[in-house]
Amino acid sequence: SKRLIATPTRTAEIMNQYDIKMKKSLGQNFLVEPSILDKMIQTSDITKNTTVIEIGPGIGALTEFLALSAKEVIAFEIDPRFVKILSNTLSEYENVKVVHEDILKVNFNDSEFDYLKDAEDLIVVANLPYYITTPIIMHLLDTDLPFNRLAMMMQKEVAERMTAEVGTKAYNSLTIAIQNKMEATISFIVPKSVFIPKPNVDSAVLMLRRREKALVEVENPREFEKFIQMAFTQRRKTIWNNVRNYYQNGEADQTKLAEGFEQAEIDPKRRAETLTVYEFEELFNKLSEI
């Protein structure tokens, strides 16, 4: 039977053979439990019609499972040591292309990626480097890539933030930024024990499915994003107090601000974590008019 990469012995073997150590600074924790990878493939609805963009293949633990179940895999790896190793560990899979590149520097809007627009079913899959989870997701959501879902392993706490409901402790500006475009659910929780080396925290596989239409579309999304971040600056303060700071340098005086709140029908004594994205939209638009 096949000797999978994603086992403790094979992973140790590969690391010894190439005499390399993992770099904490690049978030290198490798999966060594095939059943978790199986589950990741199953819950991500990957079939032979699926084109996968993978981020950070490492020595190929997840990539191998993707190669076996998907149509094709394009994997972006920042660490040149692994790019070399992957050409050996994955040599038998003809449907994998490894690209030596920092995912944050890849411009998916470039014409070299036009072919991805014709993919029947495009998905992003990754066991993410945890220290840049949010920048990576934001980078992908900012592109015109026509993927309809992302399945990503990340720190459990971050997954809980991205799936949080309004009025809860975990709900913040990141929750809103993600959920405005994507429907977020946790597929399953992953224990620390299935990685080498073992991370300090538990993980979760998060599924993000693109909504047909964003919940809210404002004229100036960047300003809207900044506005929401500002509203959450000091969680324990009222939205009034946080928003007042935002307009500090502007013309709007307190009376006008209060008018904006009234028109938006938002009680200024509420805290940001109690506002839905629709309420933020209403308040933002009314305050922009004054």
Q: Looking at 41, 44, 58, 228, which residue binds ligand SAM (CB under 6 A)?
A: 58
Report the 10 Å Cβ neighbour count for 49. 10
Q: Looking at 27, 36, 232, 271, which residue binds ligand SAM (CB under 6 A)?
A: 27
Does the annotation list 287 as a binding residue?
no
Q: Looking at 68, 104, 141, 170, which residue binds ligand SAM (CB under 6 A)?
A: 104
| Residue 83 interacts with ligand SAM (CB under 6 A): yes or no | no
**Which residues between 37 and 56 bind ligand SAM (CB under 6 A)?**
55-56
Beta strand 203-210 with 149-155 is antiparallel
The string of DSSP letters for 44-109 reads TT--TTEEEEEE--TTSHHHHHHHHHSSEEEEEES-HHHHHHHHHHTTT-TTEEEEES-GGG--TT
Q: Which is nearer to ligand SAM, 16 or 255 (CB)?
A: 16
Instruction: With CA atoms as reference, report the closest residue to 210 among 174, 184, 173.
Output: 184
By the 8 A CB rule, do 42 and 14 touch? no
| Residue 29 interacts with ligand SAM (CB under 6 A): yes or no | yes
- Does an H or E element contain 190, and which? strand 182-190
Using CB under 6 A as the binding criterion, the count of chain residues that bind ligand SAM stands at 22
| Residue 171 interacts with ligand SAM (CB under 6 A): yes or no | no
Q: What is the spatial distance between Cα 167 and Cα 58, in angstroms, rounded to a whole number?
A: 38
Piece of 78-86, 156-164, 251-259, 273-281 that binds ligand SAM (CB under 6 A):
78-86
Residue sitting closest to ligand SAM (CB): 56
Q: Under 8 Å CB-to-CB from 214, ≥6 apart: which residues?
A: 180, 181
Does the annotation list 101 as a binding residue?
no
| Residue 102 interacts with ligand SAM (CB under 6 A): yes or no | yes
- Shortest distance, CB of residue 183 to ligand SAM, whole angstroms? 24
Token match 């490492």: residue?
A: 58
**Which residues between 115 and 144 bind ligand SAM (CB under 6 A)?**
127, 129
| Residue 57 interacts with ligand SAM (CB under 6 A): yes or no | yes
Does the annotation list 31 as a binding residue?
yes
Token match 């449907």: residue?
A: 95
Q: Which residues are annotated as a binding site for S-adenosyl-L-methionine?
A: 29, 31, 56, 77, 102, 127
Q: Which residues are annotated as a binding site?
A: 29, 31, 56, 77, 102, 127
